[in-house]
Each structure stands twice: as structure tokens, then as C-alpha cells.
Amino acid sequence: MRYRVVAAAAVILAVVSYAPPRLAFARSGQARPSSQAGAKQAPRAAKPAAKTAVFTVFEASIPEMQAALKSGRTTSHQIVQQYLTRIATYEDLLHAAITVNPRALEEADALDRERAQGHVRGPLHGIPIALKDNIQTTDMPTTGGALAFVGMVPPYEATITKNLRAAGAIIIAKTGMTELANFVANAMPTNYNAVQGYGFNPYDPRRDPRTTADGRPILQTGGSSSGVGTAANFWAGNVGTETSGSILSPSNQNMLAAIKPTVGRISRYGVIPITADQDTAGPMAKYVSDVAVMFGALEGTNPDPKDAATRTCTPPSNHDYTQFLKADGLKGARLGIPRKGVYEPFDPTGGGGRGRGGLNPAQTAVMDEAMAALKAAGATVLDVDIPSMVAKDPNENFSSTGGSSVLHYGMKRDFNTWLASLGPAAPVKSLTELREWNTAHEKMGAIKYGQGQLDASDKIDLEKDKAKYEEDRAKDIRLGGTNGIDAAIKNNNLDALVFPGPGSAGIAAKPGYPTVIVPFGMIPNTPGNVGGRGGRGAAPGGAAPAATPPTGATAPTTAQAAGAPQRQGPPPEPLPPGFDPKPQPFGVGFTAGACSEPTLLRLAYAFEQATKKRTPPPGLR
């Protein structure tokens, strides 16, 4: 059974009351045409006034919206109205929203009044933004996609929700997501949750037609955040969260720009957690300029006393990240291409095996084109090694080291702490109670794919397992950071590493390092077996991607997030004759060490401006 908690009445009312944006003739001093019978006619027909073109939100950037608002060409009310109309038109096809804000138009009116009085809060004033449904709001439920939390309105808002409202943003909706940020079950498809069902990618919003399919999309949306609504022009941008790939993966799949920030740049207070060691929120939008605007607002004006990690990085002047957007920002840049284990398979043992990682031919062609564009824009592009990915010692090799306990330990620690912060509003009081509730409501669809990740987390003993956790955490930082990204950049005097798609997700997530991803190419969609996480492009050599990502949190799409082993499985079930999957997006990621977002934004913006490859989803005009 599919549970929908979308505020459908608000959307329907919005559609019924919709009127095209009013022309600006009154502001020019020209009187409105009179319809009074018998009015005296002028001897000569007046020359018609030039009409101002109607502003449309379709593919509009945040700076373009602000320019239209400033000039009086549109209002925030009209922008919200257009977005609500698009939601009403396409939501049943895409499943992008779990909840739509029934007061969005009222909030737009209030912000329009502020603007009319000369008060503009900043570049997000009157701009509709959506939040992942694990980010707390006190005027809409926060479910995390879990049936146990349906209708749960938390007693306090997330710090980033407050920061966005203070910046003038309109929280128009809560987006779909993979249930509890994809930390319920290994086999759960991305952007599936028990509240809403499956999300669908606007670049091919069809279900998998194979006889073994279970209703999931033929083209994966990425997860655990959703980029569906932003790609389909339901809102200007959205805020996702990531533990390992959950911002980068959906942005890649939906042809979006995004910032996966340094852990600590943005407050996590009031966000349903997996682990504070790796969790972060971050902006997703159609353009780099948009995510830069959103990033400053999300960071806020001061460190959050509720999240000590927000003192990790020094913010730029006025918290303005748009100052780093330079069209010539690639000139003189040194960029590293981590071939071994990322772009090409690599066997660190030298045993002659196929090795780990690597791209398929279509992905390789896209990245070759990207590298040519980087060089043409003035960057020096060189092949480099990430030391921890080429290390012969398996205990010091990022790709072959054993599983880390960090996520399961952190989930047991931080999820229970979060539940306690909700007080009486919490429908369950512990991870154990959530598991019991899910089991009791299995027939309602609470655990369609099981809850193996929750079970494993709940088995953790925070005292007895602490030493193992601390050892694993230190190793994650060493292999991902010190002997990983940091060493590669220092050894080669680089500005950044360039990864295919969301391929930096695994290695950058562990030390909490940032990536900025940019829309770029399209590749064939070659769906894998239904039981796995296929539909995101074939893994190297035609193998289906591994069912479980390296960290257990999300399913990055490229080389299993830089170097994780590829699992050979049976050939995929063929698609029915005549059914042709449509191409899928494939982006380019720029990654560096902690607090390097200004540099990454400079590089990413220059690359975007030099290529301008984003195209909207077909058929959703």
C-alpha cells in the first residue's frame, strides 16, 4: 500500500486559483483598459504598450529569479504558484515530494510585502527551496520515509531550516528519499521508502518492465537524497544529506550541480542521523551559481552551539560563496586524474587479476571529453596515484581493507540520542523500539526489503565495541584522508582531484571531505539484475554493481565510489522487445581536502561555464 502524506488540497487549490503573472503595465503609469459601456472613445487608437514577457520558472536559475523579482517582472507568489502547478501536473508521475507546504503561497505573500517595503534579506529572498524529509520542520511532518514517523511533527526545527527561513527562502516541500537515508536494508532501492514508495527519474520515469521487477524505476534516481523535483523544476533547489554518496549520487543521476560539504561546514542539529562522523547536509540545484547561493545561507551567520563541528572551517566574508565563481577559474589550475582503481581497474597485489574499480567505455568517453574541456580552459591535467588506493599492504589499501564499524556504531549512538531530543513527540523511544514497530507492521509494508542495517546497528554495544569503532575511525581517516586525498594533492601540488560522476563518494566521505559535482554528459542506461542496485550504468566489464556499497550507506554509481570491489553476478534479465531505456546523466566531480569549498566552487563554475552541458528532462515542459 502506498502512503501519501502530500498536502494535496493545497496543490489543488493552487491550481484552481492559478492565474498567469500580471503584466506590469500599471507600474509604467499606463491606465488599465476600461470596459465601461459608453466610455468616450479616443479619435485615434493608442499605440499598444509593449508587453513584458511572462517570467517562467522552467530552468530558471536563482540569480535569474532574483533579477525578475527586482525588476517587478514577477513576484514570489507567482513563482511559487508556477512551481505548485508543476507539482500538481507531474507529481504522480515522479513521486518527488512526500509533503507539500500548504502555506507556501502565504509565506510568499509575506516576503513580497517585505520586498515592497524595501527589505530584501538576501539572494534567497522569496525563493522556493525543498528539504529532504529527514530535516526537521515544525510546520510540516518529518518522516525520514519511515512509516513509524508518519505525521510526526518535531518539537524544534533543524538549524539549517532556521537559516534558510532567515535568509528568506520559502520551504515549499519535503522531498522523497531512501528510507532513513538508506540505512534500513542492504537491498533497498535508492529513493524507495515505505511512506511514499519508489521515486522516479525524470530522465526516464518508467517502471522496470521485466517479469522479476518489483515496481522500481528502470532508471535509478540515485539516493538517498532526491534530485527528482529539482531536475523537474518543482522548486529552485533542494537540500539533501550525505553520509557516503547521498548528495553526489542523486545529483549525478538527475543532471544537477551539488556541494557535498566538509563535515562541519553545515549544522546537523535537527537532522535524522546515521553518524556524526560522516553526516552532512548540502545544496542541490541545476547550476553551480545556485548551490553557491544556497551554501552561504545553509552555513548561517554563526557557528551552531548545538553542533561543535560547525567551527571546523572559517567561512568567507559575508558567508558569500558566489565571490569564488570565476569564469576563468581553471586557468593555471592543477588537476589530478586518479587512474588506478578509479578510471581504470587496478590490482594492488600485482597478481595479474582484473583488479578493482574502472569505468565502462561510455563513462570513459564522457570523462575523456571532460578532460579535454578542462585543458582547453587552461588547466593542467595529470595522472596521479592516490597512495592508499595503490598500497600493496591490504590493511593499508582503501579498496581492499575490511569493513568499517563506524556507521553501525554511529547509528546506535546518534539515532538514540536524536530520538531522546524529540521528547514526547517521538513515536518510538529507541532503535530497538523502531525495529520492533517495523516487525509488528510488516504487513503494512514497513520493511519490504527487511531491516538488516538497523538490526546490525542495534547489536552494537557502545561500551564493548568502542575500541573497535575508534580503531576503524582512525583507519578511515588515514586511508581516506591522510594517505588518500591529502597525500595525492600534496604529492602533486594539486588544486583538486577530478572524479567521474559521484566516484569520490566512498573515499572522501570517510574523512569528511568536500566534492562539488557538475552536470556534464549522458551515457547509456544498462539496467542490472533487479535484485541489485542496477540502472545506473553498467559496472566495468559488464558486471552488475555490488549490492552493498563500501560503507553500507548509499549506492554510488561509479566504480563503486572509487575502488570498491566489483561483484560478478549472473547476466541481467533482458528487457522486453521494443523497450529501450533512455540515456542517463553523468557528471564530473571536483574533490579536495577539508574546507576547500571555495577552490572547488571556482573550478566547478569555470568548468560549467566552459561546457554548459545541462539539459532538462525531456517531455516535462
Q: Is residue 318 part of a domain?
A: yes
Is the pLDDT at 6 greater than 60? The verdict is no
- Digit-coded pLDDT (tens) for 176-208: 999 999 999 999 999 999 999 999 999 999 999
Q: Is 164 helix (H, G, I), strand (E, B) or coil?
A: helix
Short-list 279, 187, 285, CA closest to 534 = 187
Is the pLDDT at 403 greater than 90? The verdict is no
Task: Count Cα neighbours of 399 within 13 Å in the Cβ-side half-sphere.
Answer: 29
Is the model more confident about 401 or about 426? 426
Do 92 and 117 fall into the same domain?
yes
- Which band of pLDDT confidence, cut at 50, 70 and 90, is reported for residue 337? very high
Q: Is residue 620 part of a domain?
A: no
- Which band of pLDDT confidence, cut at 50, 70 and 90, is reported for residue 572? confident
Q: Is residue 492 part of a domain?
A: yes
For residue 73, give the DSSP letter.
Answer: S
State the catalytic residue, choosing from 76, 226, 246, 400.
246
- Cell (9 digits) for 66: 532574483
Do 319 and 453 fall into the same domain?
yes
Q: Are 352 and 309 in contact (CB under 8 A)?
A: no
Is the pLDDT at 545 greater than 60? The verdict is no
- Digit-coded pLDDT (tens) for 372-381: 999 999 999 9
End-of-domain residue from the set 448, 466, 484: 466
Is the pLDDT at 423 greater than 80? The verdict is yes
Is the pLDDT at 500 greater than 50? The verdict is yes
How high is the pLDDT of residue 296?
A: 98
Cα gap 544→501, rounded to integer Å: 17
Q: Is 246 a catalytic residue?
A: yes
Burial (CB < 10 A; 0-12, 13-18, 19+), residue 118, is: exposed
Domains in the chain, number: 2
- Cell (9 digits) for 24: 506590469
- Which band of pLDDT confidence, cut at 50, 70 and 90, is reported for residue 349? confident
- Which band of pLDDT confidence, cut at 50, 70 and 90, is reported for residue 352? low
Do 263 and 360 fall into the same domain?
no
Percent of the chain at pLDDT above 90?
80
- Digit-coded pLDDT (tens) for 218-250: 999 999 999 999 999 999 999 999 999 999 999
Do 215 and 235 fall into the same domain?
yes
Do 402 and 528 fall into the same domain?
yes
How high is the pLDDT of residue 621?
A: 86
Is the pLDDT at 34 greater than 50? The verdict is no
Q: Is residue 2 part of a domain?
A: no
Q: Is residue 299 part of a domain?
A: yes
Q: Are 518 and 604 in contact (CB under 8 A)?
A: yes
Is the pLDDT at 370 greater than 80? The verdict is yes
State the catalytic residue, choosing from 76, 162, 224, 388.
224
Q: Are 188 and 178 in contact (CB under 8 A)?
A: yes
Is the pLDDT at 541 greater than 70? The verdict is no
Do 235 and 305 fall into the same domain?
yes
Separation of CA 241 from chain center = 7
How high is the pLDDT of residue 47?
A: 52
Q: Is residue 26 part of a domain?
A: no
How high is the pLDDT of residue 162?
A: 98
Do 14 and 130 fall into the same domain?
yes
How high is the pLDDT of residue 212?
A: 85
Give the range of the structural domain holding residue 508, as residue numbers without chain letter. Answer: 334-406+469-571+578-611
Short-list 540, 505, 501, 543, CA closest to 522 = 501
Average pLDDT taken over every residue of the chain: 88
Do 315 and 247 fall into the same domain?
yes
Q: Is residue 583 part of a domain?
A: yes
Do 158 and 12 fall into the same domain?
yes
Do 209 and 264 fall into the same domain?
yes
Question: What is the reported pTM?
Answer: 0.89
Q: Is residue 214 part of a domain?
A: yes
Q: Is 289 a catalytic residue?
A: no
Q: Is 317 a catalytic residue?
A: no
Arithmetic mean of pLDDT, 486-507 = 98
Percent of the chain at pLDDT above 70?
84
- Digit-coded pLDDT (tens) for 109-136: 999 999 999 999 999 999 999 999 999 9
State the catalytic residue, choosing from 132, 340, 475, 613.
132
